[in-house]
Structures are given as C-alpha cells and as structure tokens.
Amino acid sequence: MKVCVYCASSNKIDNAYFEATEKLAKELVKQNIEVVYGGGGTGLMGKLADVVLENGGKIKGIMPKFMNEVEWGHKQVTDFEYTETMHERKAKFLEGIDGIITLAGGTGTLEEVLEAITLKKLGIFTKPIVILNTKGYYDPLKAMLERCVEENFMGAVHLKMFNFVNEPEEVIPAIQNATPWDKDAIHFAAIK
C-alpha cells in the first residue's frame, strides 16, 4: 500500500501534533505502507520523514524546484521528485496511491485536501481520504462540510467521500474500511 500524507511545515505548533505524527509514521512503517509527502524537512513534514526513515520505512518527497532551491527539502530523504509548479506537485501526489491522510496544517494542507475531495466528488480521484483530527483541529472543517450538505451545496452521499478520525491508530483502519467510490460519482456530483 502507498499513501500520500498532507501536513504542515510549521515548527511553531503544539507538541500534540508532533506526537500524533510520530505515532502515525510508526504505524505506517509497521504496516509496510509507503509514504508520499511534500518533501519538507521541518514541522510535521520533517517529523513524518524522520520517523519513517528512522524505522526503516519508505518515503518519497515531491517538491517544486523553487522550494528545493531555498533548501526546504528534507536532507535525508533520497527518493525525490521535483516539479515545475505547485499544481504539478499536487497531481503527482495522487499518482499510484491507495489513499490520502491529512494531518493538521495551514492553507497549503487545506487546499490540498479540499482539491482531493473535489476530485473525488467528480469521480476523478476515487481513493480513501482520512483526516486526522488531532485536538479537534479539523472540527470547523467538518462542520463546514456538513453545512455544505445542510445548505444543499452537496448531497448527503458526499459526506461518505472522507472520514474524520481522532487518533493515529484509527487512520489505517479508516482507509481499509472506507466507503467504495468510483468514476461513476460524477453522475451524482450535483445531487442536492
């Protein structure tokens, strides 16, 4: 199995987010799951890569060349792919993966997961999306997505496109037990 992990590069965050990332990374390695991520060497990205590498796991970084030029890349990750643009990077994240895991993050992380949800709604991306809601960080996002249904911007079926979990140990089971989704989803993309 191979998963893409979206997460933050900020170091100025509560230690609980680092602890959750460490637990998740160890579980991914234990389950022999390959990781694709943004390639960063700081914040949750750095912690994810450090722990995967320290425990003998496999991790690949995908980063635009301009980020590498300012040395944002993780120095110990040897499997790297460099893109020209952020858009190309996001497309590469989704190639050949079996699911997405979203950890806490800022606008970049939010933008990545919301694009993946949009692509899933259209049946373009069909793999599981799991959002780790450490410390209730994503409670407002969950409420917003539910409001999209309440206000008829999405159908109730669309809430099956992703799962929110509270603990790192719940992530892999959530991927394994996700509601099946396929390209025919485009036929109910506009259901209200």
pLDDT, one tens digit per residue, over 33-58 is 999 999 999 999 999 999 999 999 99
Q: 58 near 52, Cβ under 8 Å?
A: yes
What DSSP character marks residue 78?
-
pLDDT below 70 — which residues of the chain?
188-192
pTM of the model: 0.95
CA distance 135 to 158: 25
* Complete domains list, the chain, with CATH: 2-188 (3.40.50.450)
